[in-house]
Structure 1
Amino acid sequence: MEKFVNQRLSKHCCSSDDAKTTSPRKRVKLLEDERMKWEEEEEEDEALAEFSHPVPWQKIESEGLDCDYALLFSKEEADRLFQQLEEEVVYATGEEAKVHVFGKLHNIPRKQATYGDAGLNYTYSGVTRSAYPWTPTLESIRNAVTKATGQTFNFVLVNRYKDGQDHMGEHRDDEKELDPLCPIASVSLGAARDFIFRHRDARGKQSQPRRQIEPVRLELAHGSLLLMNPPTNTFWYHGLPVRKKVLVPRVNLTFRRIAQDGKK
């Protein structure tokens, strides 16, 4: 690298007639300035090479809602990751496949699994889940999400929807274990599904909403990444409604950062 820079500096700085009449001290200064310029350009080139395919983000905003959406994986990559997850992920069964709703246990209308760093637990819907160790594919996807967002995550909730009958009710991811400063990163693989945001002040009976705030609807595509930034989960509920025409499965991964030892 040094030799190449010197050759370029020599050609760039000493080929003009002006250089012949410049004092030695000034020539040294010019060479040093040019060297620094070329080295800065080399560093920029290396940085661009590392992120040669930046993710094209789409900003989604409303009152208190701040999200970023992008296609993180190509179709071929997403197809491969989906098949690998089908082989690796072990979903909860029995009592672990139930949640508390209004004081009663109900079956979850989808399959669910939790993975993450050792010793992590996550409580939601009145049930506490322990994290299984990361599988190779989950770890690979987490690394891709970290590279795209600059955020680190230590836990993932996996939801598998066998078809459009499987769904998720409206809720907020605002559990006390979650780091309130960290976004939730949602990766979708498989069938494209509608994803609905509804402001907390506009919920209730549709005929008499408390406030006239329009819901926000997205279609989460195969290989996509949705980043729900703070304060989204403070003000907005989200859900995945039934879509009877959807006949193929979908796997969704929501990466989170759980505050350990009560420290946020």
Structure 2
Amino acid sequence: MSNELHELNLDNISWKSIKNVGLDLDYAVAIPKANASAILQELENSLEYFKGDLSKIKVFGKIYPLPRQQVAYGDPGITYTYSNLTVPALPWPEPVLALRNFLFKLKGIKYNFVLVNKYRDGNDHMGEHRDNEPELDPNIPIASMSFGQERMFVLKHKEARKPGPNRKEIAPVTIKLEHGSVLFMNPPTNDIWYHSLPKRKKMLGIRINLTFRKIHNKA
């Protein structure tokens, strides 16, 4: 995979800045289609996803299967806890390490953890949430890389989700996450905006998404 990334001219990437109340995003299709397709195939061939308890999630006291496949990688000693689930970081596989190095060239940040989600088709999805867990470095953006089926990424301001008269009229922000795209969610986005990947039953292709994070609890 390193060959697919090494030859890319980073100066040719066209970034789009997306801003709103407390929202700060940078988005680009950073990897050309042919390179992105080769990367997707390599990820498909090499990654294995969590099974057993790590493939389930607890919601309001009940246990459900995750509506997607998931695995995590990172530096030694790293764990990540969300929704009452503590995820251990497996050692970096070479294809994912190459993507981390690509992000370092783009942004100058060396991420120490990645959560990989595979959406097998449009029925697989991600519910509304914020990535604001205390072990995350609040000064470092979360970097999201997408390969495969385009899907819609929906962000909602926390004040627009409140019921009754306290709710503020702030429109959602929707982004089409394209094949080979990179999205940086800059601070304070994840403190203020919820995000989700809704079901899209007509979208039949697979999608692999990698969200790179900087975590404090490095051993």
Give the shorter-chain TM-score range. Answer: over 0.9
**More strand per residue:** 2
Tell me by how many angstroms 1:51 deviates: 6.1
Of 189, 199, 210, 1:253 maps to 210
Structure 2 equivalent of residue 212 of structure 1: 169
Cα gap change, 1:119 to 1:214, in 2 (>3 Å): same
Whether 1:225 and 2:182 are equivalent positions in the alignment is: yes
Structure 2 equivalent of residue 118 of structure 1: 76
Structure 2 equivalent of residue 186 of structure 1: 144
Check whether the contact 2:143–2:212 (CA below 8 A) recurs between aligned residues: yes
Structure 2 equivalent of residue 76 of structure 1: 34
Counterpart Cα distance in 2 of 1:250 and 1:220: 10
Give 1:10-29 correspondences, 5 Å limit.
Answer: none
Give the paired residue count.
212
Counterpart Cα distance in 2 of 1:107 and 1:192: 23
Tell me by how many angstroms 1:145 deviates: 1.2
Larger radius of gyration: 1
- Deviations along 1:103-129, one digit per CA (max 9) or x if unpaired, are 221111000000011111110110101
Counterpart Cα distance in 1 of 2:135 and 2:63: 22
TM-score (norm 2): 0.92
| Letter paired with 1:88 | S
SS across alignment from 1:148:
helix
Most deviating of 50-59 and 132-141: 50-59
- Deviations along 1:49-100, one digit per CA (max 9) or x if unpaired, are x966342210000000000001111111100110111111110111110111
| Letter paired with 1:129 | V
**More helix per residue:** 1
Cα gap change, 1:139 to 1:171, in 2 (>3 Å): same
Structure 2 equivalent of residue 87 of structure 1: 45
TM-score (norm 1): 0.77
| Letter paired with 2:59 | V
Of 227, 238, 241, 2:198 maps to 241
Counterpart Cα distance in 1 of 2:192 and 2:60: 22
Cα gap change, 1:250 to 1:261, in 2 (>3 Å): closer
Structure 2 equivalent of residue 28 of structure 1: none
| Letter paired with 2:159 | D
